A and B are shown apart, each in its own frame.
Chain A
Amino acid sequence: MLSRRLIPCLDVKDGRVVKGVQFLGLADAGDPVELAARYDAEGADELCFLDVTASADKRSTLTQLVGRVARELFIPFTVGGGIRSLDDMRAVLEAGADKVSVGTAALRDPALIERAAREFGSQFLVISLDVGRRADGARVLTTHGGREPTDVLVHDFARRMADAGAGELLLNDMERDGTKDGFGVELLASITAAVDIPVIASGGAGTAAHFVDAVAHGGADAVLAASVFHYGELSIAEVKAAMAAAGIPVRKPLGGTA
């Protein structure tokens, strides 16, 4: 049976992890490769890198990082942040990424995803949906890190992306992001019911029970979180144990003795 996945996400700037990551026993907590290996060893099912580099030579720092991670890591990893064109996608693919996460560019030009699906296959395409709320209460996509609501209804866009050939949807509930109050289960449930492709929940993780809710009540196929893992508030093993106890299938990492 297919396991529900747990995906730590690292914010990367100029090839280094930013935002605090507090692991004991790491020589250098800012090194994405070292952190990736640590999460891998702890049982992360995948990793996500979100590039927040603003500089002009972004592409080269990103592809260098992807190359270094790909050499050391043998679980799938997704790279996102500022992916705008087929050329951007090809660059990270060739550097060794397994998937790209595309946000604003997909919103601006939905046909880009059709072209990308033909070129690279759906398995490569994660569409990131930053979901806010319009003044009338409707759940809409936002830009600029959730600050700018658009008139694009999230359900319409989710279906459109699935039809265009997206492999997965990464649903970031901007109302929950950073609150640690739990995932927006209602939004999640309505999106997972609306599309047949896998949906990754993001935004609001605070406790292990929140992850269980996202899967058991939101129908999430995977759950992504950043700070609760980085600050050691929760471990991958702890969250997986809670999920397993709730009857959710999770992958048991292969230990030395198995």
Chain B
Amino acid sequence: MRFQLIVLMFLSANAFSASDKEMDELFRKYDSVMIGHKVELIDEVFTRKFLESAGGKKEFSEGVKELPKSPLKTLAAPKISWKKGLKDELWLAKRAESSDKKNGKDVPSGNQFIIVKENGKLKIDGTMSDAE
């Protein structure tokens, strides 16, 4: 009985935790979609709710294809910093890279990614601006 309880606690702790490895894997796939245009991975990267709010999977895929495409082999590993949300089972992640060039200077987007677990896997559920 005690053993079962320990196993149950271990399993439930894992269900609500995330590791650097999982986060790296998510953002590698994310880059594959956004930079490599591998839109077949969209369901593995984004939650259903995200895709609905982005106008649906088809519209989002078409939007992704408008972004500049790079060969995936040349991509550096994404630099991600992330933390667990204080209240809910979610994680807030930020890319170290800046997004766009403006007047020759980098302008950080200032966005955070909201990550949740869907069917046991980390997925991007939305973004949020950098209030502080």
Do A and B share a complex? no
Chain B residues within CB distance 8 Å of chain A? none
Residues of A in contact with B (beta carbons under 8 Å apart) = none
